[in-house]
Amino acid sequence: MALPFERVADDHNSPAAVEPDTRPVVLQIVPTLDTGGAERTTIDIAKALKAQGWSALVASRGGRLAYELKENGGELIRMDAASKDLRTIFANVARFAELIRERKIALIHARSRAPAWSAFFAARRMGIPFVTTYHGIYAAKNPLKRWYNSVMARGDAVIANSQWTADHIRAAYPRRAKRLVVIPRGIDLGTFNPKTVTPERIAKLRAQWHAKPGDRVILLPGRLSRWKGQLVLLKALDLLQKSDRLPERLRAVIAGDAQGREHYDEELTTAIASHDLHGVAQIESHVDDMAAAYCAADIVVSASTEPEAFGRVPPEAAAMGRPVIATDHGGTRETVLPGQSGLLVKAGDAAALADAISDLLARPPDELAAMGAKGRAHVLRDYTLEHMCERTLAVYRELLASKP
C-alpha cells in the first residue's frame, strides 16, 4: 500500500540500500526546513545521527535547507507537518504510525506543537519514546491555548534550549514534564570561525551593503518581524542623529527575509525615510554567508522586544569575535556577558540602545577586539555544536535503553 506522504531520498539513503534492522532510526519533525533555530538544529542532529551510524529521518514540508539535510546524510519525508487544521493533525497520527511501522523508527522527536500532537499519539500507539524540544515560548491567553501548548511538555524527555526556557516550562507545567533537560543551542565553530573567513567574502558583503573602506557597520540580522526590534534600532539611530552622536561614516544594515503579510518591510522603509536615515540605514534580504556578515560588521545588535528562548544571533556573533548589544531578557542573559562580551539594554528602549551604540563606537578597536575575544571564549566553553549533539544523542540512548 502506498504511503500517504512523499519520501525524498537518494540511492545512498534509500531503504533498499540500508538494512533497516541494523541501526536505530530516529524521526525528527519540524514544520519547514527554512532558516531558523529549530530547522538548523534539526540538520545538525541529523548529521550527528549519521556520524554515529544511526538513520536520520525528517518529516517536513521542506524548504531551502532540504538540500543540506540530504548532504548531511538525512532523509526528508515530505508531508504537511505545519498545518494546525484538526483534520490534518488527526490524519497525521495514522501517517506517522504507518511510517513508524514501515521504517522501524525507534524514537520520534517533535520540534513544533501541531505536528507534536500527531507524533505524540502515534508514538503512544506504537510504543516508542517521544521527545520534544522547546525552541520558543508559546503564549497562552486562555485555557484551551494552554492545553494546546502542553503537548510540548508531554515528552518522555523535554529539551529546553536555555535555562530561561526551562524555568518557563517548570512554571507553566509543573507536573507535566517527566524529564526536563537543558541543552543550549550549539554553534558550529567550523562555520563560525573568523580565521576561516576570507577577506574576499567580507569585501563582497560590504560592497553589497555600500560600505566603503573605513565605514563603521552595525548589523541587525533576523527575520523582518516587528518583535525582532528593527524599528527600535531605527529610532535609536534617529536619537543619535538628533543629538549629534551619529558618526559620519556609519552604515546600519538590517538583514532578513520579510515574514507574513503585514508588509513590515514597507513600514521599515517608511521609517528610514521619516527619520531621514537614507545613506545610514538600509534593508537587505536574507544573508546566506552569516559568518562573513558578522566579520563585515563592527557591532552586532539583537533588539528583540519579546524574550527569545535562546536567540542565535548573540552567540553566533560572539563566536566571530564581535561585540554584541542585546536586549536584557530571555536566553540572551545567558549568552551575553554584560560589560565583557557585550552590553545588555532594556527591551524596546531606543534611548538605551542609542547610548549603548554610542558607547561601543567610542571605544578603541583593541577594546572592542578584547570584548569579541571574551565572547568567543564563552561560546567555546558553553555553546558548541558538539556539546549540543552529544547531549541530545545521550537523551536518545537513555530513552531507548530504558524502553521495555
- The 10s digit of each residue's pLDDT in 49-88 is 999 999 999 999 999 899 999 999 999 999 998 888 889 9
d(CA 102, CA 123): 14
| pLDDT at 112 > cutoff 90 | yes
pLDDT score at 22:
59
Q: How many domains does the chain have?
A: 2
| Tens digit of each residue's pLDDT (9 = 90 or more) over 7-27 | 443 333 433 333 444 589 999
State the residue for C-alpha cell 537614507: 278
The model's pTM is 0.86
The CA-based angle 173-178-181, given to 5 degrees, is 90
Same structural domain, 233 and 176? no
* pLDDT at residue 214 in the model: 93
Q: Domain check: are 261 and 367 in the same one?
A: yes
Q: What is the pLDDT of residue 260?
A: 67
pLDDT at 20: 41
| Residues 108, 133 within the same domain | yes
Q: Give 167-224 pLDDT, tens digit per residue.
A: 999 999 987 767 999 999 999 999 999 999 999 999 999 999 999 999 999 999 999 9
pLDDT band at residue 233 under the 50/70/90 scheme: very high
| Angle CA 50–54–55, to nearest 5 | 80
Instruction: Let me know whether 177 and 35 are in one domain.
Output: yes
Looking at residues 288-311, what average pLDDT do you find?
Answer: 96
Mean pLDDT of 146-166: 95
Mean pLDDT of the chain: 91
pLDDT of 109 strictly over 50: yes
pLDDT tens for residues 344-396? 999 999 999 999 999 999 999 999 999 999 999 999 999 999 999 999 999 99
Confidence label for 111 from pLDDT (cuts 50, 70 and 90): very high
Indicate if 115 and 230 belong to the same structural domain: no
The reply to whether 209 falls in a domain is: yes
Element (H or E) spanning 370, and its range? helix 365-382
Residues 163 and 230 in one domain: no
Distance of CA 89 to the CA centre of its chain: 24
243 falls in which pLDDT band (50, 70, 90)?
A: very high
Place of cell 516550562: 169
Using one digit for the tens of pLDDT, what is the confidence trace for 275-292? Answer: 999 999 999 988 999 999
Q: Determine, yes or no, domain membership for 259.
A: yes
Both 341 and 313 in one domain: the answer is: yes
User: Which residues lie closer than 8 Å to 349 by C-beta, 6 or more apart?
Assistant: 232
Is residue 377 in a domain?
Answer: yes
Q: Do both 83 and 23 map to the same domain?
A: yes
Q: What are phi and psi of 391, to 5 degrees?
A: -70, -35
404 or 213: which leads in pLDDT: 213
Distances (CA, A) of 217 to 17, 205, 263, 298, 357: 50, 11, 26, 5, 11
pLDDT over threshold 80, residue 240 = yes
Alpha-carbon Rg of the chain, whole angstroms? 22
Q: Residue 152, Cα to own-chain centre: how many angstroms? A: 17
The arithmetic mean of pLDDT across residues 1-5, rounded, is 37
Q: Are residues 179 and 199 in the same domain?
A: no
pLDDT at 195 (0 to 100): 96
Degrees, nearest 5: CA angle 271-323-208: 50
Domain of 225 in residue numbering reads as 194-382
Same domain flag for 361 and 389: no
Asked if residue 347 is part of any domain, the answer here is yes
Residue 286 is predicted with a pLDDT of 85
Is the pLDDT assigned to residue 31 strictly greater than 90?
A: yes
Residue 374, domain member (yes or no)? yes
Please give the pLDDT value at position 12: 39
**Confidence label for 4 from pLDDT (cuts 50, 70 and 90):** very low
Residues 277 and 338 in one domain: yes
**What is the residue whose three cell numbers read 530547522?**
39
Confidence check: pLDDT of 140 > 90: no
- C-alpha grid cell for residue 394? 545521550
Contacts of 365 (CB under 8 A, 6+ apart): none
Using CA atoms, how far residue 228 sits from 7, 36, 180, 204, 221, in Å, is: 35, 13, 28, 26, 9
Residue 135 lies in a domain: yes
The CATH number of whichever domain residue 313 belongs to comes to 3.40.50.2000
In a domain, residue 1? The reply is: no
- 122 & 249 share domain: no
Asked if residue 367 is part of any domain, the answer here is yes
**Which residues on neighbouring strands pair with residue 224, listed in sequence order?**
258
